[in-house]
Amino acid sequence: MPSASPAHFPRPPVSSEEDLLILVDADDREVGVLDKGRCHDGEGILHRAFSLFVFNPQGEVLLQQRNASKRLWGGYWSNSCCSHPRAGEPMDLAVNRRLHEELGITASLRFVYKFEYHARFAGIGSEHELCWVYVGETHDEPSPHPEEIAACRWLNRSALDTELAQEADRFTPWFRMEWAALRSRYSQQLPVA
């Protein structure tokens, strides 16, 4: 299926460098809050995040290409949706909020696992996240938010595996780690293809 381009109508911004994120320790215990910009400066400060993998009824996963203006990994391909719960926001509300804001869709989501990772992007900043990974299914077609997403596409698993093997540097580091874990350790959690 061809890439979906962002809709060309005004939509309010969905995030800001001033958003307050939840700082956590290595056991995912809350230890404070800090604005998004400072969480991603330098080596990054450990904070709570989430990554969503949304599948259609054909078993294809939705990928998004991050808008080129994104501070970290702009223009790279990544999983369906990823972001952060805001200070005081429960995770179940955050994942559904962001999925609707970024892609204009709803999905039945289920938590699969969480892990800590650190990835530095040139001299610009870092991701240092305790990331909750979810898998879900939708019948909706995405309507990407133009400030967040340059393009999106549905891809079957074997085609994605091939792309990752041949051109890994086109994809975000967290997506590569998460997809590898989903395909190996958590394959039973993926929808039937």
- Of the pLDDT bands very low, low, confident and very high (cuts 50, 70, 90), residue 58 is very high
**CATH code of the domain containing 75:** 3.90.79.10
Name the catalytic one among 102, 129, 148, 178: 129
Q: Is residue 5 part of a domain?
A: no
Residue 180, domain member (yes or no): yes
d(CA 17, CA 118): 19
User: What does the pLDDT look like over 131-150, one tens digit per residue?
Assistant: 999 999 999 999 999 999 99
Question: Can you give the pLDDT at residue 10?
Answer: 55
Residue 3 counted as domain residue: no
Domain count, the chain: 1
Residue range 173-177: mean pLDDT, rounded: 98
Question: Which residues partner with 78 through β-bridges?
Answer: 64
Whether 10 is covered by a domain: the verdict is no
Asked if residue 23 lies in contact with residue 129, where contact means CB atoms within 8 angstroms, the answer is no
Residue 102 lies in a domain: yes
In a domain, 104, yes or no: yes
Is residue 11 included in any domain, yes or no? no
131 lies in some domain: yes
SS3 110: strand
**Sign of CA pseudo-dihedral 90, 187, 157, 118:** positive
Q: Annotated catalytic residue: which of 39, 81, 82, 131?
A: 82
For residue range 69-115, what is the model confidence (pLDDT) as tens digits? 999 999 999 999 999 999 999 999 999 999 999 999 999 999 999 99
Tell me if residue 129 is catalytic.
yes
3-state secondary structure of 169: helix
What range defines the domain where residue 87 resides?
Answer: 20-189
pTM: 0.91
